[in-house]
């Protein structure tokens, strides 16, 4: 018999989420992810909330690679890699990802969350200090929490991109055996870029290890889309790079850690998400590999993405809104209160634009925003239509006079 009290408690929590207007409703798509999609009950809408930065989620080469791999390798490994074997396809993908990141080796995981979760408990021990940017992704935060529980490492948090505070945290942990600096490359809610050259300089001064989650920068930043390190001209200087295969590189799933061979091998030997999870499905591994190769063959996609983001940021400002400054395709438009962010996303969907509003506690109080994410696949007509929809929605919400 089902536990009635447990269900009643869950019902009450759901009711409170709805009353607080923070309940998340799923919108169901009936077509592949792209600049425009077919949404159940809505028809065609322009997508401005996807991480499909390069438009590769439905690229013919990427899709066909997954189909071919399904026929060649089947659905999957049916167990973890060291027990039942791993496909040569995974090794090929990991070689390509290491080269893209500018490191000697890489290891793939079933998600970028797992990749981040794997690293800290594997490498940070009881005599080590892990220092994390306060706006790091939840997967980094949980990775550090997990390590503190399992290996008893210590941790500290520095103010967002505040190099004075980072220096103070490094100075205050000189007695630690090793110090790890964890940072996002691009911070997803702000679209801001980590001060990587400054972080590397401090790391050299204090003999610290830099770990950077480049999920929102891989395929996005740098002349050829190699990420934050290429953006700043420091490819090969970051100790550890983690990233995703679920955003610019095909949009399916999966993640990876890229670093020196022994650092990666220790993850193979000890990281629990690797030791107790099946390998990436061959369809995903193959489509991700194809996406990396399309990125290399078509660097103009990165250029187009940058041009689209710059045009949209300027156009939405001219329309009377307040986008956060930045150099990335993440364009958060500040509206103030959470209720306004939710209302704007609903009004925009009525206008045929799918974009998500975020408020507290995801972002600070008073800084609720509609986070727009531009793709290389958006045409100028798409973006002009989005700006027009924002004007209509903004007027209805009382944001524009």
Of 59-63, 243-247, 359-363, 379-383, the poorest mean pLDDT is in 359-363
Catalytic site includes residue 90: no
Cβ–Cβ under 8 Å, residues 28 and 248: no
User: Residues 160-164: what's their mean pLDDT?
Assistant: 98
Indicate the CATH number of 60-297 among 3.40.50.620, 3.40.640.10, 3.90.226.10, 3.40.50.80.
3.40.640.10
Res. 25: pLDDT tops 90: no
Cis peptide, bond prior to residue 361, ω within 30 of zero: yes
Domain 22-51+299-396 indexed as CATH 3.90.1150.10: yes
Which residue among the candidates 59, 169, 216, 378 is catalytic per the annotation? Answer: 216
Res. 203: pLDDT tops 90: yes
Of 77-86, 147-156, 387-396, the poorest mean pLDDT is in 77-86
Res. 401: pLDDT tops 80: no
Using pLDDT thresholds of 50, 70 and 90, give the confidence band for residue 194: very high
Using pLDDT thresholds of 50, 70 and 90, give the confidence band for residue 84: confident
* Per-residue model confidence (pLDDT) at position 115: 98
Catalytic site includes residue 345: no
Using pLDDT thresholds of 50, 70 and 90, give the confidence band for residue 3: very high
Q: Domains of the chain: which residue ranges?
A: 22-51+299-396, 60-297
**Integer Cα distance of 269 and 72 in angstroms:** 28
* Per-residue model confidence (pLDDT) at position 17: 87
**Integer Cα distance of 150 and 290 in angstroms:** 37
Query: Each residue of 264-295: pLDDT tens digit?
Result: 999 999 999 999 999 999 999 999 999 999 99
User: Residues 366-381: what's their mean pLDDT?
Assistant: 96
Q: Which of 262, 245, 257 is nearest to 119 (CA)?
A: 257
User: Residues 306-335: what's their mean pLDDT?
Assistant: 96
User: Residues 231-246: what's their mean pLDDT?
Assistant: 98
Res. 21: pLDDT tops 90: no
User: Residues 51-77: what's their mean pLDDT?
Assistant: 97
**Integer Cα distance of 348 and 45 in angstroms:** 10
* Per-residue model confidence (pLDDT) at position 24: 82
Q: Which residue has the tokens 């759901």?
A: 14
% of the chain residues with pLDDT over 90: 91
Catalytic site includes residue 216: yes
* Per-residue model confidence (pLDDT) at position 169: 98
Geometric angle at alpha carbon 349, from 345 and 352, rounded to 5°: 140
Which residue among the candidates 231, 247, 271, 345 is catalytic per the annotation? Answer: 247
**Integer Cα distance of 250 and 239 in angstroms:** 25
**Integer Cα distance of 93 and 106 in angstroms:** 9
* Per-residue model confidence (pLDDT) at position 363: 87
* Per-residue model confidence (pLDDT) at position 20: 80
Res. 137: pLDDT tops 90: yes
3-state secondary structure the chain: CCCHHHHHHHHHHHHHHHHCCCCCCCCCECCCCCCEEEECCCEEEEECCCCCCCCCCCCHHHHHHHHHHHHHHCCCCCCEHHHHCCCHHHHHHHHHHHHHHCCCEEEEECEHHHHHHHHHHHHCCCCCEEEEECCCCHHHHHHHHHHHHHCCCEEEEECCCCHHHHHHHHHCCCCCCCEEEEEECEECCCCEECCHHHHHHHHHHHCCEEEEECCCCCCCCCCCCCCHHHHHCCCCCCCEEEEECCCCCCCCCEEEEEECHHHHHHHHHHCHHHHCCECCCHHHHHHHHHHHHHHHHCCHHHHHHHHHHHHHHHHHHHCCCCECCCCCCEEEEEEECHHHHHHHHHHHHHCCEECEEECCCCCCCCCEEEEEECCCCCCHHHHHHHHHHHHHHHHHCCCCC
Q: What's the chain's average pLDDT?
A: 95
Task: Report the 10 Å Cβ neighbour count for 315.
Answer: 17
* Per-residue model confidence (pLDDT) at position 22: 77
* Per-residue model confidence (pLDDT) at position 105: 98
Which residue among the candidates 49, 155, 188, 271 is catalytic per the annotation? Answer: 188
Using pLDDT thresholds of 50, 70 and 90, give the confidence band for residue 13: very high
Across 140-175, b (16+ Cβ under 10 Å) vs e yields bbebbebbbeebebbbbbbebbeeebbeebbeebee
**Integer Cα distance of 17 and 317 in angstroms:** 32
Determine if the pTM surpasses 0.85. yes
């Amino acid at each position: 018999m089902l536990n009635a009290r447990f269900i009643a408690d869950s019902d009450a929590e759901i009711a409170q989420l709805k009353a607080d207007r923070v309940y998340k409703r799923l919108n169901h798509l009936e077509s592949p992810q792209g600049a425009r999609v077919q949404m159940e009950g809505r028809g065609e809408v322009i997508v401005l909330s996807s991480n499909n930065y390069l438009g590769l989620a439905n690229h013919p080469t990427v899709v066909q690679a997954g189909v071919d791999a399904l026929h060649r390798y089947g659905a999957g490994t049916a167990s973890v890699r060291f027990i039942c074997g791993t496909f040569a396809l995974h090794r090929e993908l990991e070689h390509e990802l290491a080269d893209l990141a500018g490191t000697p080796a890489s290891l793939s995981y079933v998600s970028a969350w797992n990749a981040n979760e794997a690293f800290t408990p594997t490498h940070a021990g009881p005599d080590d200090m892990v220092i994390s940017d306060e706006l790091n992704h939840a997967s980094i935060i949980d990775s550090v929490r997990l390590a503190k529980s399992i290996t008893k490492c210590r941790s500290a948090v520095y103010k967002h991109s505040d190099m004075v505070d980072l220096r103070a945290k490094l100075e205050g942990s000189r007695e630690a055996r090793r110090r790890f600096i964890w940072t996002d490359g691009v911070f997803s809610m702000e679209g801001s870029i980590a001060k990587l050259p400054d972080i590397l300089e401090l790391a050299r001064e204090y003999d610290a290890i830099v770990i950077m989650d480049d999920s929102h920068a891989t395929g996005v930043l740098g002349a050829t889309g190699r990420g934050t390190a290429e953006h700043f001209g420091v490819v090969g200087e970051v100790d550890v790079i983690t990233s995703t295969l679920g955003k610019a590189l095909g949009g399916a799933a999966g993640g990876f850690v890229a670093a020196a061979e022994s650092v990666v091998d220790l993850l193979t030997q000890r990281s629990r998400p690797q030791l107790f999870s099946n390998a990436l499905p061959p369809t995903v591994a193959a489509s991700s590999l194809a996406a990396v190769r399309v990125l290399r063959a078509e660097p103009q996609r990165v250029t187009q993405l940058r041009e689209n983001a710059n045009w949209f940021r300027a156009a939405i400002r001219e329309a009377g809104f307040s986008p956060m400054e930045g150099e990335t395709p993440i364009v958060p438009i500040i509206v103030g209160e959470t209720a306004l962010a939710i209302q704007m996303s609903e009004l925009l969907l009525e206008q045929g634009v799918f974009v998500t509003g975020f408020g507290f506690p995801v972002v600070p109080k008073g800084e609720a925003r509609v986070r727009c994410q531009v793709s290389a696949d958006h045409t100028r007509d798409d973006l002009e239509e989005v700006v027009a929809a924002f004007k209509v929605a903004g007027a209805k919400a009382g944001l524009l006079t």
